[in-house]
Copies of this chain bind each other. A is one copy, B any other.
Amino acid sequence: MSNASLLILPGDGIGPEVMAEVRKIIDWYGAKRDLTFDVSEDLVGGAAYDKHGTPLHDDTMAKAQEVDAVLLGAVGGPKYDSLDFSVKPERGLLRLRKEMDLFANLRPAQCFDALADFSSLKKDVVAGLDIMIVRELTSGIYFGEPRGIFEEGNERVGINTQRYTESEIDRVARSAFELARRRGNKVCSMEKANVMESGILWREVVQKVHDEDYPDVELSHMYADAGAMQLCRWPKQFDVIVTDNLFGDLLSDAAAMLTGSLGMLPSASLGSPMANGRPKALYEPVHGSAPDIAGQGKANPIACILSFAMALRYSFDQGDEAARLEAAIEKVLADGARTADLMGPEDGAPMSTSEMGDAIVAAL
């Protein structure tokens, strides 16, 4: 594959450890499948702050705009908790999302058969679960102005603004309907139209996009609080869920946890097509930087490796190779390979991060 460029941003906490395992996978594809990537690596989050005093250097931002795909580990950690808001590790990630205009965040919540017992939910509630949450990622209360902490009378007031234009809703709705057509053909849109005007506009635009261009897809609407309930009660009722930035943050995390497979879940954040036809894209695991276990070789690299599989599929048109990688992972799990997060207290000694990476390479 020519001109396939990949920018790797390991970030903080367990980011570098899990990314090292992705490197093994990338090397395998180069050596065995003649699938080579022009890989560069850089800093983001606290790691970038430590070196440059900013969670994302302008040069890194520029590089991210040029490559075909960015692969990110995780950002944040207690070391940076007292930093000013404007230079917190998270701002680096949010700047990437915003300036690359990655409006569609795809978060599969999938329950891996081998791990169904590991959920806090009953096995029949989660076994075989496979839903896709499409979260709007570049607008809403994450980016709306005015925002800040202001003086008002003799006290302070904290303000953030939820803000959605019709076109912002339109494009993410289209992403959801397109995905649904390749899956179970069902979309559930979630907002609080009973309380928020931005939710009314959201519901109206999603319905319009549906009626005009995707009448074949089954569409329903649900208030986000009822959505949170229904995810906990019977998640298999859903196929694709489309929702805004903030609701998507909570709902996708809850859904991820329900699967029992949190250390297993990847995500893709996609923007508009570039000149070469590939979408702007950033891939990252759903889990965070997990500072409590960082540097101990305990982290599960699978979510990050599956994020690379998503890159193969969505950025590089290598769906077969993505499926190969996913099958390898299912195989090692079926064979009993487990990092610490996938084990109960009585299950014996867990695999290390790098042993898991090696096992997956071997299974490939």
Seen from chain A, the residues whose Cβ lies within 8 Å of a Cβ on chain B are: 76, 85, 88, 90, 94, 120-122, 125, 141-142, 144, 147-149, 152, 155-167, 192, 194-202, 224-226, 228-234, 246-247, 249-251, 253-254, 256-258, 262, 288
Q: How far is the CA of A224 from the CA of B253 in the complex (A)?
A: 10
Copy number of this protein in the oligomer? Answer: 2
Which chain B positions have C-beta within 8 A of A160?
161-162, 196-198
Residue of B nearest to A90 (CB): B194
A196 to B156, CA, bound (A): 15
* Cα–Cα, bound, A192→B249 (Å): 10
Residue numbers in B under 8 Å from A90 (CB-CB): 194-195
Whole-angstrom distance between the Cβ of A96 and the nearest chain B Cβ: 14
Report yes or no: A199 in contact with B158, Cβ–Cβ below 8 A.
Answer: yes
* Cα A163 to Cα B160 with chains together (Å): 7
Q: What B residues does A94 contact at CB under 8 A?
A: 195
**Is the CB–CB distance between A201 and B149 below 8 Å?**
yes
Bound: A228/B262 CA distance, A: 13
* B149 pairs with A162, CB closer than 8 A: no
Q: Measured between alpha carbons, how far is A250 from B165 in the docked complex, in Å?
A: 24
Task: Determine whether the beta carbon of B250 is less than 8 Å from that of A225.
Answer: yes
- Report how far A307 CA is from B66 CA in the complex, Å: 59
Taking CB atoms, residues of chain B closer than 8 Å to A163 are: 157-159
CA distance A72 to B322 in the complex (A): 54
Q: Cα distance A225–B254 when bound, in Å?
A: 7
B141 touches A88 (CB 8 A): no
**CB of A109 to closest CB in B, whole Å:** 11
Q: Which of B121, B158, B166 contacts A157 (CB 8 A)?
A: B166
A250 engages B232 (CB within 8 Å): no
Counting from the closest, the 8 A-B pairs by CB-CB distance are A158-B201, A158-B198, A229-B257, A228-B254, A225-B253, A160-B162, A155-B166, A232-B257
Contact A254:B253 (CB < 8 A) given known A120-B234, A121-B120, A166-B157: no
> In the assembly, what is the distance between CA of A194 and CA of B253, in Å?
16
Nearest B residue (CB) for A161: B161
* A258: B residues at CB distance < 8 A: 232
Q: Is the CB of B161 within 8 A of A165?
A: no
Residue of B nearest to A150 (CB): B197
Q: Which residue of B lies closest to A245 (CB)?
A: B195
Q: List 25 A-B contacts (CB under 8 A).
A: A122-B122, A144-B159, A147-B196, A149-B201, A155-B165, A157-B163, A157-B165, A157-B201, A158-B198, A158-B199, A158-B200, A158-B201, A158-B202, A160-B196, A160-B198, A162-B162, A226-B253, A228-B251, A228-B257, A229-B262, A230-B257, A232-B258, A233-B257, A247-B250, A250-B251
